[in-house]
Structure 1
Amino acid sequence: CHMVSGWPQCVPPRPSCDNVRCHKGTMCHMVSGWPQCVHPRPSVRAVPAPSCSDLTCAPGDTCQVLQGWPRCVPMALTCQDLSCPPGSTCRMEKSTPRCVPMALTCQDLTCPPGSTCQMDGATPRCIPIAQSCQDLTCPPGSTCRMEKSTPRCVPMALTCQDLTCPPGSTCRMDRTTPRCVPIKLTCQDLTCPPGSTCQMDGATPRCIPIAQSCQDLTCPPGSTCRMEKSTPRCVPMALTCQDLTCPPGSTCRMDRTTPRCVPIKLTCQDLTCPPGSTCQMDGATPRCI
């Protein structure tokens, strides 16, 4: 970059022999402003290769041969070349030595009585020595508890021993607080009248009629006892063919749950034919033909 007419501009570097390597037996010379490898003239005495012995560098620089030519480059510094003020130390940051504050520890800090040193990140700090409930006396009705490493007096937690409940209630702990709640009754606390018994309806004892059975019920003739929804009831007795008398030529058959008289189906065994004829079934009827 060069300043051209007061403005910075990027311009090509001037040609030189710095970046030119010539073949053996030739050397670089500037010809018409351009580097060229030419054979030395026989009459010209060979020029020795340049070296750092021919170059004097400024303080803080050192000589290095780069691409065949000696050049002055900044000397690489280390922490040995840098003197830091008290309370700081030298550290290398990206090949450059720098003075940074020295990391302190609790060994470098003296704390006043009643405090101790603890590291807060990379910084030592004096903090009060943590007390305990042994160092604190609380007034009556309160007790000591540790809150964030600090002893504090807080109201003493009550228990059911500290609470008197009225009749019909009892004390129960609601989390950390004693409370009076109604006593839950049971069947042992309830007397039921004759013909009833006690059963729990949720959390309440109740007297309900004693469940009867068919043994406790006498039904009239032609009916019998059956349990319907836990209650004994008299219902008509189911008849059978034993309870039905059918007329001649019919017999009893059960139609589902009802006995019915139906005609007897005759066969040739029930018919006596005269001589010269025989019995044959005509549909469901025997006939002599």
Structure 2
Amino acid sequence: MSRMLKHHLHPGFLLLFIWLCHLMEHQKVQAGNCWLQQGKNGRCQVLYMSGMSREECCRSGRLGTSWTEEDVPNSTLFRWMIFNGGAPNCIPCKESCDNVDCGPGKRCKMNRRSKPRCVCAPDCTNITWKGPVCGSDGKTYKDECALLKAKCKGHPDLDVQYQGKCKKTCRDVLCPGSSTCVVDQTNNAYCVTCNRICPEVTSPEQYLCGNDGIVYASACHLRRATCLLGRSIGVAYEGKCIKAKSCEDIQCSAGKKCLWDARMSRGRCSMCGETCPESRTDEAVCASDNTTYPSECAMKQAACSLGALLEAKHLGSCNWKHPQNRLHPLEPIQCRLSHLVTPLQPPPLQSLPCALLFYRPNVFSRCSPDLLHHISFKIQDATVFVDAKSKRPFLTQNKKHTHTQTHTNAYKETKEGGLCEK
């Protein structure tokens, strides 16, 4: 039999068989592991795929991609990653910055170990404002270029809110484009875009009771009212507002505790159990109980312990009466076109004072803060002044109201307080 095989086996077939065996062995050696980065320890880290050749691994041109030729079992890979800080004999795909695309806002740079690295280098040549800016994270940056660097280093959602340092009020805040300044519940000013259209409410579970005692059809409706008002309203609790006699009548969701607002005779569900960091001297606040607390966080802790609502009257000690320390200073201010919202439950008109109050340049009302939610009217070319003696704001206008809601016709123009008369 063997003589027959030797007689029929052509020498060419034998050479072909030897070449195929060599090729298979060569491919086996070349099929290694592809990694997404090389650590500072020189080892390959973050396995991308096993069984890849170096050519396939490095085809993307991504900086940091590396390759190891060892074809090892998964148990060995696991041991390398957990106990050794990565795979040894790491071969980087890129040895220089040639043809390296780091993406927008970055450039390739050789580090001290002569390794190519992508570093943040935003294009700041077209930035005209050279002063500080307030970021969307509530932090002040020395300029927009510094903010862009922070955005590149791990904060992709970071944007410029407005020019200048971050403020605690909307005073002197100029928001870009059509955005509007709003003061949140922590007394930080933000620029937001007001959503004037909310989807139709499909379930009673969407109802929310606002901290102002008004029922909102959904979270969208509350956000819209907040945006147009210019200051935070906040959620007291889920569902429609009820006539509660105490916190025992209010059911809060998990993780929240009812705090009673004695001044307004209503409850509010708040998060409690927060751990406060060490306070700085400039973080002190004067609370509504005329007590100075080291920080707003400490004030909230005290409120949770007492079961009573505490709010910041102004920044700093209660004994310090500096005029610039007020959270909402009154001063002459120009007012422009204002669109206000109409929620579900208007209060009795006769029970509301007609003293003119305002909160920001383009949103104001002739009546109380509660009534502000129940009016939908337009005022153009109007100016709010503050009486030098009484320090009370009043309105002078060149054009009459254009009412869009029937019940607003009941109000009588007045400069000083009193009840809203029909």
Per the TM superposition, whether the score is higher than 0.5 is no
Give me the TM-score of the superposition, normalised by structure 2: 0.14
Higher relative helix content? 2
Question: Whose relative contact order is higher, 1 or 2, with alpha carbons under 8 Å and at least 6 apart?
Answer: 2
Larger Rg over CA atoms: 1
Higher relative strand content? 1
Give me the TM-score of the superposition, normalised by structure 1: 0.19
